[in-house]
Chains A and B, each alone.
Chain A
Amino acid sequence: MSTTKAPPAHPVEAEVRKPSTRRRLVPYWLLLPGILWLLVFFALPMVYQASTSVQTGSLEKGFEVTWHFRTYWDALTDYYPQFVRSLLYAGTATLLCLLLGYPLAYLIAFKAGRWRNLVLVLVVAPFFTSFLIRTLAWKTILADGGAVVDALSTLHVLDVTAWLGWTENNRVLATPMAVVCGLTYNFLPFMILPLYTSLERIDGRLHEAAGDLYATPATTFRKVTLPLSMPGVVSGTLLTFIPASGDYVNAELLGSADTKMVGSVIQTQFLRVLDYPTAAALSFILMAVVLLVVTVYIRRSGTEDLV
């Protein structure tokens, strides 16, 4: 670096600087192809979608940008039940994932011992079996008159859930409960892995120290483990909630016409009705709502250095 401080007119200086400018360009060359790919196939499409959402016209006559913002209002009033449902189902599934996933992540991090790798493999392996096939398997598991439904019925669980509006007529398939069950199942690995990574980083001696200071296991968990695992909780929640809110596969395969989520509407408008402006507006509203929820959540949980 001392060479750059030499008098600028010196001829040797120019020769020294050449490789250093080249070196300074290295990161840009490394970034160029990937960033270009994301700009052209991720950012640019968003611009196209924004323009599509303010167009009017039809497939035969062609679409034109008319700054018709009413499309947004119409889309929202027509499909707000699907919006509310998406957020509700995704929120419930996220909460269930957290409740179910935390003990398993804890088990892998602290209790599994030499079984740790095997359990981790069993958590990750579902990634590699087609999730559509596994979702279809839930049709068999939750089938009317199947073992699960019979058991829930005998235990009078279905009476309670029916009263809450989660199930109807002593069946689980084609009800909100089936959809939430499928969503929870499909996104559990996305909750468990971040939880596990942040739990694994906790120094086991902290638990011993808490015990030495007469903390009960419950207090240790509340005052030591849980706060230290918050980064995992936050990123797990985001990784579950965001994809779940846009998912329509579970709602379509396990639900009924009354459990349709907003992704399903976007898909139908785009691929079947071919009403591109409405579809684009819907997808923008979904994006805005999700980003809003996520931003508020990150602010409130106070871990902004996640990314």
Chain B
Amino acid sequence: MPVLRWIRRNLVVLAGLLTLAYMILPNVVVMVFSFNRPKGRFNYAWQEFSLDAWKDPCGVADLCGSLSLSLRIAFWATAGATVLGTMIAFALVRYRFRARGAVNSLIFLPMAMPEVVMAASLLTLFLNMGAELGFWTVLIAHIMFCLSFVVTAVKARVMSMDPRLEEAARDLYAGPVQTFVRVTLPIAAPGIAAGALLAFALSFDDFIITNFNAGSTVTFPMFVWGSAQRGTPVQINVIGTAMFVIAVAVVLAGQSVANRRKSDAGK
């Protein structure tokens, strides 16, 4: 049986492709149902083809407001976490100092903690301080949990960096600032970019921590959560589809730039 033999030889590939299909399937469903005209409040069953939602993505009350709020929070959270995280990563890789172990555990712990535990404890802090829940408390929370991921991403890159390049720059009479801006930063940039991208995605998509600390402020994930109870507008699928397409395009574009640089360097 040649067919069976072929299947046996390519078992890993087939299993991998099945997993990939499992991962992509919901995205396909989201995409297909963005062209649906549902009967009733919920968009779970296919009725008929329509472009209504694509023509008017902001046609639902509060949807685009929550979207822009989430984008703003994700932007500032990314900026904050990337700056603070990069500084910590450089300190950890480049310097020997006391309390290194303690700092490492403090970085690791937020990642080793179920989100709901952090969300609840942060809420007890805010309640005790009498802080008003909203934009600022969400932003504080997002910077907190994105920080560790940025540190990990940047650390990985800086660790694989050859310190002799910086020595060479100094030997060529570059000052500390010049060395950092012209040599260190460009080499660390891919790690910083990866950390920032991860922070943006984590912050934009976070539901649990946001839900605890947002008060009556509604971010995009919270809007989707609410709509699961009240009725899901098709526009949610439109935005989900657009996000998927934009993300794939951005990542592919980034990779093709990196590839071109690599081939240029090879010449």
Contact = CB atoms under 8 A, between A and B. Distances in A.
B228 A41 contact: no
Size bin of chain B's contact surface: 35 or more
Size bin of chain A's contact surface: 35 or more
B87 A45 contact: no
Nearest to B106: A38
A306 B108 CA distance: 10
Interface in A209-254: 238-239, 242-243, 245-249, 253
Contacts of B115: 243, 246-247
A100 B15 CA distance: 8
Give the interface centre of B23, B112, B143, B237 by most chain A CB atoms within 10 Å. B23
A106 B17 CA distance: 11
A37 interface: yes
B130 interface: no
B91 A42 contact: no
B204 to A, nearest CB: 8
B13 to A, nearest CB: 6
Interface stretch (B57-65, B167-175, B185-193, B239-247): B239-247
B125 interface: yes
Given A103-B15, A249-B208, A283 B121 contact: yes
Dominant SS at the A interface? helix
A251 B33 CA distance: 23
Given A103-B16, A307-B104, A263 B114 contact: yes
Contacts of A34: 84-85, 87-88, 147, 151
A122 B20 contact: yes
B232 A31 contact: no
A21 interface: no
B236 A122 contact: no
B16 A107 contact: yes
A276 B121 CA distance: 10
A255 to B, nearest CB: 13
A48 B128 CA distance: 8
Dominant SS at the B interface? helix
A249 B147 CA distance: 23
Contacts of A128: 201, 204-205, 243-244, 246-247
B211 A267 contact: yes
Interface stretch (A74-82, A162-170, A284-292): A284-292
Contacts of A43: 106
Give the interface centre of A107, A128, A139, A271 by most chain B CB atoms within 10 Å. A128
A26 B114 contact: no
A296 interface: no
B140 interface: yes
A188 B23 contact: yes
A11 interface: no
A206 interface: no
Please name the 3 residue pairs, one residue from A and one from B, whose CB atoms are nearest each other, closest first.
A246-B114, A107-B16, A128-B247
18 contacts: A24-B97, A41-B144, A45-B121, A48-B124, A101-B19, A103-B12, A103-B13, A122-B23, A123-B23, A128-B201, A129-B27, A132-B228, A133-B239, A137-B30, A140-B33, A243-B114, A267-B212, A290-B112
Given A128-B201, A246-B114, 16 more contacts: A38-B107, A45-B125, A111-B16, A122-B24, A125-B244, A125-B248, A127-B198, A127-B201, A133-B236, A133-B237, A263-B116, A280-B121, A283-B116, A286-B116, A286-B117, A307-B108
